[in-house]
Structure 1
Amino acid sequence: MILTLSCPDRAGIVAGVSGLLYERGANILDAQQYDDEETGRFFMRVVFDPQDASADALREEISELAALLAMDWTLRSRKTRRRVMILASQTDHCLADLIWRWRQGELSMDIAAVVSNHPASTFPHTDLKGIPFHHLPVTPETKADQEKALARLIANTETDLVVLARYMQVLSADLVSVLAGRCINIHHSFLPGFKGAKPYHQAHARGVKVIGATAHFVTADLDEGPIIEQDVERISHRDTPAALVRKGRDIERRVLARAVRWVLEDRVLLNGRKTVVFTD
């Protein structure tokens, strides 16, 4: 099982958690912790084998400890696979990569659906076999109705996590509120610079020396949510705009895959406008 928690920092938190698990006969397999001195909050992730301990009894005792420590916490069996919905528009490099990693067993999840504002024929090189696909077209006039249909689909498929894999639509504040803490986006890391169309061409024209990608939780502030993962790559004057686009796609794929995996493995804890990421 995996226990994650955050609470105001104080003495005895680690002792309380480890002591509780010891008394129940559980065996701790891995433990990571972080004390944020700036915010005064404590974060912890514990992986343990419950042995003969009852999950219900553990939840009850953890709940009692949480009440004493003003603790936000989650407890999940490692066998429980989260249901993930992937949204994409016309580019499919991130979509195809996530599906490939899922089929290879790298991402422990179930794909609830793939959703696009374009038809499935937009992705002729992506293997969607066996995956529910939903075409939800959108125009400025139909955006509200399209988002209502999307919200119903998320609810009906019991989706736990939504991944915007180059989904080129801005989600409304209402939908973002519904998905708070369970929606990930990926984009190039030039933002807030080089907005709009062809950012890599804009970057080339300005002679940038580093390109990268950012994966973050989606919030009402566009592209400013808590960052989960980033990566960069140096480039030179020899790189054409096409080379920048190609390298950018590679970075976006690996950054998004890492972010999704870490969230699936309960390694990411929100810390206000930031995150605490207990990497493996």
Structure 2
Amino acid sequence: MRRRFVAVLARRADRLDALVKEIEQAGGTALAIAGDVTDAASLQEAADQVAERLGTVDLLVNNPGVMLPAPIEELPTGQWRQQVDLNVSGLLNAVAAFVPQLIRAASERGVADLVNTSSIAAQNIFPNFAVYSGTKAFVTHFSRTLRAELGQKDVRVAVIEPGTVGTELQSHVTDAGAQEWLEGSKETITWLEPEDVAESIAFYRLPARARQSAADDRHADPPACLTCRLLRGAGNGRGAGNGVAAGARPPAGDTAPYRSSRSRPAPPPSRPSWAAAAFSTAPASALVA
């Protein structure tokens, strides 16, 4: 397996430092940068630092997000802005900071990848989640459209739409009705885990010929382990992951049953999981959480 260099960026430096130590203990090389994806200038500085210290990024996992459902008639406008600032503007800031490197990496190595995290809320109707769902619908459609543009430059654009994932995302919900609904959902569905999403990303990134052999291997690619840690949260408490991780390869409502790639039985029909939707792609590494 080729060695990877990884940089992680988020607001909570203590979590990043612990993550870097874990990566280094496993034989990897990692760089921690404290920052905020809602600050475009800071994020650009971080991207430049990653390129200078580790090399050109060839994979960006763009995973900023906060979920604050509430009845629209309550007019929680501050929470509306917070979701738009992080879920939409934060994601765009990461694209602006890292896509030039992805294009450069693709020209040098033949391919680069941008993976944006959306949600099944982009496709389904969940009362009281209107603003959150709208931000995720943006992420999904933005990714589809961007694919037509960047695909011509050998940058593959993927969007993943997980269902409910067991992270700190739910802990930021302040509406009592939404809190009760989320807690009750544990009785009827099986929540995903960060590892499920991470393994999906690792599986997507593998060459087609290697995917079958890797399907039963947990954490087949080191960035997957990093991804699940970011999904658990290294932000500032405003979202499951208000941060960025970047790395470079050395030059050279409705529910649906789901079976994850992990080696465990699928949940019984009475407890369907909210699935991570399939990637859609067109014809280094950065993680944004």
**Same fold, TM-score > 0.5, yes or no:** no
For Structure 1 versus Structure 2, the TM-score category normalised by the shorter chain is 0.3 to 0.5
> Which protein is richer in helix relative to its size?
2
TM-score, scaled relative to structure 2: 0.35
Larger radius of gyration: 1
